[in-house]
Structure formats: structure tokens, C-alpha cells
Amino acid sequence: MRNLTEFEQAALSGEVNLSDGHPRHDLTGRQLQIIGRLSDIFFETRVQNFRDLEIRAQQSFMTGLGQYSAPVTDDRVFSVYSSSVTTMAVASFLRRHNHKAAVIHPTFDNIPDLLRDMIELVPITEQELADGDFDALLAKNVTCVFVTTPNNPTGWVLEEAAFGRLVAFAAAHRLLLCFDTSFRGFDIRTQFDGYKLLEDSEVDYLVIEDTGKLWPVAELKLSFISTSKSVRADIEHGLSDVLLSVSPFVLGVVDALARDGAEGGYSTLHRLIADNRQEVARTLNDLTEIEMPDTESRISVCRLLFPSAARAAQVHEKLLGMNVHILPCMPFHWNAPDEGGSYLRIALARDPKLIMVALDRLRAVARNSSARV
């Protein structure tokens, strides 16, 4: 089975690419102004003190998403090229310390793929995380819990009360907590100050943040990894194996975009995603065989549920024949792929006209296909 990134790579030159969750829509007027200043940002950041520049960019990003207690000035937030590289560093750390991790199921497949090359994994469902009944993890000798929130592809979030229960349990039983919050910018329900809860509990933790899903700036992006005091030195040493530093120019761009996001840019993004999701819902109202199961999701992707895995595969194949690229969901279900067979995932961080082209072709496939499987 191909992994999800392979599907996304094949779509990069496609006519209608709704596969990856990266933003590929028009820039806002204020974002265009920032792009118009790129040469200024380049020359300004060449002469600025790197650490001052890094702190400013990290603080702009964190505070813009409600993470006021992130340990930026404590020198416990590290800048990395991308969230995948950050996940590789986390996986290496977990291997060095012989961890066994409970990993959310389903989730984007590169997370379990990178981890299970290093350590043993067991699945934990969104419902189990929401309910807060974690005693079974102790019986399985789990030493780490890895949660994606908001989760991709479902849009599920670990809300504040459930987050607090997990933190308290992990602190009491000396478990390491790892969070991937790459889609935090889309959902205000995840923008409570999680770092305050983590810091107050003194739990061991790692948090992966990501700018790459938020702004359509040709893959200029950064990931940040935040650490508890207990694991800071080990993470810093591990990162030294893969990078010297990130680009000061990209730090300057992230700083400017994060400030714009906090001043209204994120609200504009939320409206775009909500409007595109609504267009999908309108289309599905006319296509009774297809459902949109994740009614509470606010992230920049959307699942479609078909009556059978065979029907989902057929629609996926026919859409590819019409040069429309979306994702099959089996790889998200890394421990039980068949559970995802009836789902397809489409990206919503696109211009509305492209969404409408894709939906018109989906409507044609669903209505005109003579096969019923």
C-alpha cells in the first residue's frame, strides 16, 4: 500500500490537487504586502542577532495561537525545518530511551511510520483519549502517549478538560506526553494555554508545532519542538545530528505572517475553510450515497464516507481519471487499514473555484457511474 505522501507527490502536477493539507489558495491582501517585503525581510534578518530573531518569531507564533506559557524564553523551544524532521527527532529520542508508545488511531501515516521503525506502538482511539480511561495503557507497559490534536483526518480535538485529565494521569505515572498540534491554527478549541497545564504539572513532554499548514507561501515554513526541562538537553543534542540552524530569513517571514494571523489573518483563513466545507456539504445533500461524517471538524481537510470500501475505491479511481487528486483513507488507519476503506479525504485549503471544479466532477462520477458495488 502506498503511503499518503506518495499519493500527494503524484498530485503536485495534477490539474485539481485536493490531496495534501498544505495551503494552496490565494493570499490575502495583507499577506501579499508581506510577500512584497521579502527582499526587505531578507536583508533585515541577515544582520539581526539570530537568537533575538528566533525568540521573536516563536513568541509571535505561540501567542497568536493562545500558547502564552510556551517556554520560549526558557530556551526550550527549538526551530526545525519541518514537522516531519521534528517527528524524526522525536522518534530517535524515543528509541534512545526504549519507550513504548500509545499512538492515536487513526492519524496521518507518517507519524506511526517514523515511530514504528524505532519503537513498539499500540493504538489508542480518539474516544479513549476523550474518556480519560488510561489504566489499560499501564497494563500494556506503555511509557509514552502520542496524540495529534486536532487530528488529521477526522478533525477531532482533545479539548481542555480531557487534555487536563491526560496530563494529570501522565504526571502521576511518569509517562512522557508527545503532542502534534500542526492543525492547531484552524480550531480555537485547541487554543487554550496547554503549556500552562504542562508546565504546572511538571510532566515530561514534547510538543510539535507547525507553520506549514497555515499560509500559502510556497512551502516557506518552520516547525517548533517544545520540551519539558527533563528532556531539553537530550532533544537539543539529537537535533544537532540533523541541523545547524534554520534560515533567519524564514524566521522573519514566519514572524510577519504570525503577527498578521493574530491580527485577523486566522479569522480570514477560518472563513475560507468553513465556506469550502459548506460547499462540500451542499454537494453531498444531492448525493445520498456519500456522507460527511466529521460534522464538528474545523481543520483544512474533510472526509467523505461511502457505503463500502469498494465504492470508495471506484470513485477514487474515476476521479483520478478526471485529473482530480484526493486521498484514500486506509493509510490513516495505520493499525487496521480496512477501517479506513470506506473513506476518502479532500483538502479544503484551496481557492473556492477549484473546490467547485472538484465537486462538479465528484457529482458527475457519483451520478453517472453505471457500476454499483
322 in the same domain as 226: no
Q: How many domains does the chain have?
A: 2
**Which residues of the chain, if any, have pLDDT below 50?**
370-373
pLDDT for the residue 369: 63
pLDDT for the residue 26: 97
pLDDT for the residue 370: 45
- Residue pair 349/21 in contact (Cβ under 8 Å)? The answer is yes
- Residue pair 301/153 in contact (Cβ under 8 Å)? The answer is yes
Residue 251 in domain: yes
pLDDT for the residue 133: 85
270 in the same domain as 158: no
CATH code for the domain of 201: 3.40.640.10
Written as nine digits, the cell of 120 is 513498539
Q: How far apart are CA 209 and CA 20, in angstroms?
A: 18
Q: Taken in order 197, 200, 204, 208, is the CA torsion positive or negative?
A: positive
- Residue pair 349/300 in contact (Cβ under 8 Å)? The answer is yes
Residue 60 in domain: yes
108 in the same domain as 162: yes
pLDDT for the residue 373: 41
Of the chain, the end-to-end C-alpha distance in Å amounts to 22
Three-class SS state of 367:
helix
Considering 234, 260, 286, which residue would you say is the last residue of a domain? 260
246 in the same domain as 142: yes
Residue 49 in domain: yes
46 in the same domain as 17: no
Q: Which domain holds residue 79?
A: 29-260
Residue 372 in domain: no
pLDDT for the residue 169: 97
Residue 110 in domain: yes
Residue 356 in domain: yes
146 in the same domain as 57: yes
Question: pTM for this structure?
Answer: 0.96
CATH code for the domain of 287: 3.90.1150.10
Residue 371 in domain: no
pLDDT tens digits for range 118-165: 999 999 999 999 999 899 999 999 999 999 999 999 999 999 999 999
Considering 260, 285, 304, which residue would you say is the last residue of a domain? 260
Considering 214, 229, 260, which residue would you say is the last residue of a domain? 260
CB atoms within 10 A of CB 15: 13
pLDDT tens digits for range 242-299: 899 999 999 999 999 999 999 999 999 999 999 999 999 999 999 989 999 999 999 9
Q: How far apart are CA 32 and CA 52, in angstroms?
A: 25
